[in-house]
Amino acid sequence: MAPKASSPGDLTTFNILHGLPEALVRGMRSSFLQDADYHHLTQCETLDDIRLNLSESDYADALADSATMTPASLQKAAIDKLVTEFKYLRTQTVEPLSTFMDFITYEYMIENVMLLLKGALSGRDINDLIEQCHPLGMFKESTMRSIPTFENSSKGYADLYQTVLVDTPVGPYFAVFLQETAQHRGSDARNVLEEVEIEIIKSSLIKYWLEDFTHFVEQLGGDTATIMGELLKVRADTNAINITLNSFGTPLNEPAMRAADRKRLYPAVGHLYPAGISMLVDVQDEEELGRVLELFPQYAAIWNMHAGGGGDKSIDDGFYERDVQMLELAFESQMHFAVFYAYVKLKEQEIRNLVWISECILQQQKDEINKFVPVFSHHCPWRGGKKH
């Protein structure tokens, strides 16, 4: 799990080791699309119009080599650009910032492994699967190609962990999952991966990652522990709410499964932990979930928006808006590491916005085109709706 972390420093010492990468990432803030850019994009009639508008933005070089513009090609070009920037920042870091940035990539590694395992179960082509993997979570190609090749059996999955996953940065999370599940089910670990749904495995691994990341930033102390710790707590709470919500209508919502399997998926960090989590264990429908979240004001408003129904926003939209607000605030203070995490997540939101706008134009759904969450917008509610 997480190594023992040294302090990132304070007002007097932070810049000695980390001043350059922090200055770089704060300079990169100027690359975000502005309100005027979004206004022009939403007025586009074709995808070529989008390309033309983006040619005057920070995405110009990334899109220069695209023969044709599609939402998928736009997304790939934007993600590749983000990965290039992230890797450049990573090369400028020293400990403990380098380990902090590695932690950011572990989430994508978990998602890639799960994508490959799920694809292997459905018999999909390995090349197509690797093409869909997130570049920030890539292992060396031989490792990526090895993951889906193991046979679909208990022994095959055991060999997969012992020969491939054990040597990856996320290997310890798999080890903990196999050990805990074997103890819980009273069986050999070899049978675990075969018996459990891929999404349940993914939720467990993300839980271990969140707990490990939280422990690491707490060791760092200072503003990094305060600001990044808050971001991770909210992320853990979001996972817990979504796990509960998505379990309705599935075997995980059966009484025995709620108290056993579903309970083990909840992160042991966050504002909901421990009191809220203990209440979520017994929740069996949306009405009961709403009553639990009413006790937590920071989530009650988002839930009420979802429960009201018929509105223009989903619960995911509510989470996205809240996340953008918190991530933007990470840029408002100095001498901490959370700004690097915030940059990656805000860029991901910007990419979602671009894909949404391009999809609406492609499908001629202009009435829906403004349903996105702009980043560093002067019109957002938490900035008082002020304009330029």
Question: pLDDT value at position 190?
Answer: 45
Nearest Cα residue to 177 out of 205, 206, 219: 205
Give the Cα separation of 354 and 33 in Å (integer).
10
In terms of DSSP H, where are the helices of 32-70?
35-42, 47-54, 60-63
Question: Does residue 156 surpass a pLDDT of 70?
Answer: no
Helix spans in 55-168 (H): 60-63, 71-91, 97-121, 126-132, 141-146, 154-163
| Residue 3, pLDDT score | 53
- pLDDT for 305: 84
Q: Which token pair is 372?
A: 């996105």
Distance in angstroms (rounded) separating the CA atoms of residues 261 and 22 = 41
Q: 251 versus 27: which is more confidently predicted?
A: 27
pLDDT of residue 68: 86
* 385 or 94, higher pLDDT: 94
pTM for this predicted structure: 0.93
- Average pLDDT estimate for 136-157: 80
CA distance 388 to 380: 12
pLDDT band per the 50, 70, 90 thresholds, residue 189: very low
Q: Which of 4-13, 166-175, 211-220, 296-305 has the lowest mean pLDDT?
A: 4-13
Mean pLDDT over each residue of the chain, to the nearest integer? 89
Q: Are 193 and 201 in contact (CB under 8 A)?
A: yes
pLDDT of residue 372: 93
> By CB neighbour count within 10 A (0-12 exposed, 13-18 middle, 19+ buried), where does 297 fall?
exposed
What pLDDT is attached to residue 311?
61
- Per-residue pLDDT of 320-376, as tens digits, reads 999 999 999 999 999 999 999 999 999 999 999 999 999 999 999 999 999 999 999
